[in-house]
């Protein structure tokens, strides 16, 4: 939207950048034209100064949504109200369309061994990329695209975009007992050592994109309170900082970056120097960037897991058999930390690792299941 030959996006960016620098903004043609003659500007040297002063708390956190709502709600715009009014009969209006799109491409390599010498296995390596225009799971019904007139504004990596995934599963019958490499003529001992098999399932995956947010309000693009937050814009190659837990990192006491966990907390941070990484980003600005950079470029931690099954098959008679089994999920009880918060307006928690990955329910802690099955 242009007023006075200037877009609102550029006028808004001027206010935000002046706020960041601690300065009074220069007069912006958009505000002077759109608010001309309004009581909203009364008592101020310019309409730009009126907006910068009265809405300073919103401008400081790049909250475009509330800034627009206040100006629009006061009836200040010369072109009239430009926001759907709130009605007592309606709190939310849901809308959907089939215009969404995503693009997934992958190279898949598979190595398979058919049953032989008691061993069967199947391994898969997937190198892929999943990008879309919205970067959200379908259950986020209140979220909306940054720019409904151009869905490519949000086009980027999806939250589930893992570039590399390795899966391996196999069954190995131990070469023990009658008909195998190691056998015995003792019938009792033969029954004990026969029929054992191991069934490992191993997975390894690279990290998913982390939402590096401008703020926690998710209102930087003026499109409501439930979009995905606008992301951060990197100022350097931030991939060089890595994505592995670093112990005994308690942040920067001077700037407060990464200090939330403190000496009494986890003492873990995804970066060796969170303050350096924090200063390697800047906020997303609507007029300058033209898109939200929802995800990336920093990716979360790598994930791996080993599940293991042990099975014992015993024939009681030709028609009756019994199977005993033990299954261990996360057999090594391997601890996996959740990915951290990366918000410029929450510097204390920047990079701090404080939770367990997948900890809903039992998460990824070891689960052992024992069972028996009789066949006849």
- Bridge partners, residue 364, by sequence: none
Domain boundary among 42, 73, 104: 73
Q: Please indicate, yes or no, whether residues 164 and 38 belong to a single structural domain of this protein.
A: no
Give a yes or no: residue 224 inside a domain: yes
The owner of tokens 């308690």 is 250
pLDDT of residue 217: 60
Domain closes at, from 14, 47, 73:
73
81 occurs within a structural domain: no
Say what the alpha-carbon torsion angle 31, 32, 36, 40 is, to the nearest 10 degrees.
Answer: 50
pLDDT of residue 197: 93
Q: Which letter, b or e, does each residue of 225-264 get, where b requires 16 or more Cβ atoms within 10 Å of its Cβ?
A: eebbbbbbbbeeebeebebebbeebbbbeeeebbbbbeee
Q: What are the tokens at 184?
A: 């015995």
Instruction: Answer yes or no: pTM beyond 0.85.
Output: no
38 & 171 share domain: no
Residue 136 covered by a domain: yes
Question: Would you say residue 105 lies in a domain?
Answer: no
Same domain assignment for residues 276 and 341: yes
Whether residue 79 lies inside any domain: the answer is no
Decide if 88 is inside a domain: no
Query: Does 83 reside within a domain?
Result: no
At residue 359, the pLDDT reads: 55
**Residue-level pLDDT, tens digit, the chain, 376 residues:** 899 999 999 999 999 999 989 999 999 999 999 999 999 999 999 999 999 999 999 998 888 888 888 888 888 888 887 666 555 566 666 667 777 788 999 999 999 999 888 899 999 999 999 988 765 544 555 566 777 778 787 788 888 889 999 999 999 999 888 777 888 888 878 878 888 999 999 999 999 988 777 665 667 776 655 545 677 888 888 889 989 999 999 999 899 999 988 777 778 999 999 999 999 988 888 888 877 766 667 899 999 999 999 999 988 888 898 999 999 999 999 888 889 988 888 899 999 998 888 755 556 688 899 999 999 8
What pLDDT, on the 0 to 100 scale, is given for residue 8? 93
Say yes or no: 57 and 123 in one domain.
Answer: no
Q: In terms of domains, do 222 and 296 share one?
A: yes
Residue 201: per-residue pLDDT: 96
Question: Do 334 and 227 belong together in one domain?
Answer: yes
Q: Are residues 198 and 326 in the same domain?
A: yes
Partners of residue 322 on adjacent β-strands: 314, 374
* Chosen domain end from 73, 94, 128: 73
Identify the bridge partners of residue 196 per DSSP, sorted by sequence position.
312
- Helix locations, 42-142, DSSP H: 47-54, 56-60, 64-73
Helices 47-54 and 8-21: crossing angle in degrees, nearest 10, is: 60
Is 103 contained in some domain?
A: no
Domain that holds residue 321: 112-375
Task: Provide the pLDDT for residue 90.
Answer: 62
48 and 143 together in one domain: no
Q: Are residues 152 and 15 in the same domain?
A: no
My answer on whether 116 and 69 are in the same domain is: no
Same domain assignment for residues 260 and 336 = yes
Count of the separate structural domains present in the chain: 2
């Amino acid at each position: 939207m242009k007023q006075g030959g200037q877009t609102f996006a550029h006028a808004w960016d001027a206010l935000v950048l002046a706020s960041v620098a601690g300065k009074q903004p220069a007069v912006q043609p958009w505000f002077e034209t759109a608010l001309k003659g309004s009581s909203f500007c009364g008592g101020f040297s310019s309409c730009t100064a009126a907006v910068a002063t009265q809405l300073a708390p919103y401008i400081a956190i790049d909250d475009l949504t509330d800034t627009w709502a206040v100006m629009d709600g006061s009836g200040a715009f010369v072109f009239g109200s430009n926001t759907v009014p709130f009605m007592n009969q309606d709190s939310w209006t849901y809308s959907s369309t089939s215009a969404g799109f995503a693009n997934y491409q992958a190279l898949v390599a598979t190595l398979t061994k058919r049953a032989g010498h008691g061993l069967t296995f199947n391994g898969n390596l997937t190198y892929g990329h999943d990008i879309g225009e919205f970067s959200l799971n379908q259950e986020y019904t209140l979220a909306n695209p940054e720019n409904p007139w151009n869905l490519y504004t949000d086009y980027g990596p999806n939250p589930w975009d893992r570039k590399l995934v390795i899966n391996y599963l196999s069954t190995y019958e131990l070469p023990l007992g009658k008909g195998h490499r190691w056998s015995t003529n003792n019938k009792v001992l033969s029954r004990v050592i026969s029929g054992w098999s191991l069934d490992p399932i191993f997975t390894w995956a690279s990290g998913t994109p982390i939402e590096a947010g401008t703020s926690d309000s998710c209102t930087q693009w003026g499109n409501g309170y439930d979009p995905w937050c606008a992301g951060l814009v990197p100022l350097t190659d931030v991939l060089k900082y890595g994505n592995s837990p670093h112990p005994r990192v308690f942040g920067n006491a001077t700037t407060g970056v990464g200090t939330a966990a403190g000496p009494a907390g986890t003492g873990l941070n995804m970066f060796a120097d969170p303050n350096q990484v924090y200063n390697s980003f800047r906020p997303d600005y609507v007029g300058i960037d033209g898109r939200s950079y929802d995800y990336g470029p920093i990716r979360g931690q790598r994930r791996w897991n080993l599940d293991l099954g042990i099975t014992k098959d015993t024939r009681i008679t030709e028609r009756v058999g019994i199977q005993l089994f033990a299954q261990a999920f996360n057999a090594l009880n391997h601890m996996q930390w959740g990915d951290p918060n990366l918000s410029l307006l929450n510097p204390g928690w920047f990079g701090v690792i404080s939770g367990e990955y997948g900890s809903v329910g039992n998460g990824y802690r070891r689960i052992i299941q024992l069972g028996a099955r009789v066949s006849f």
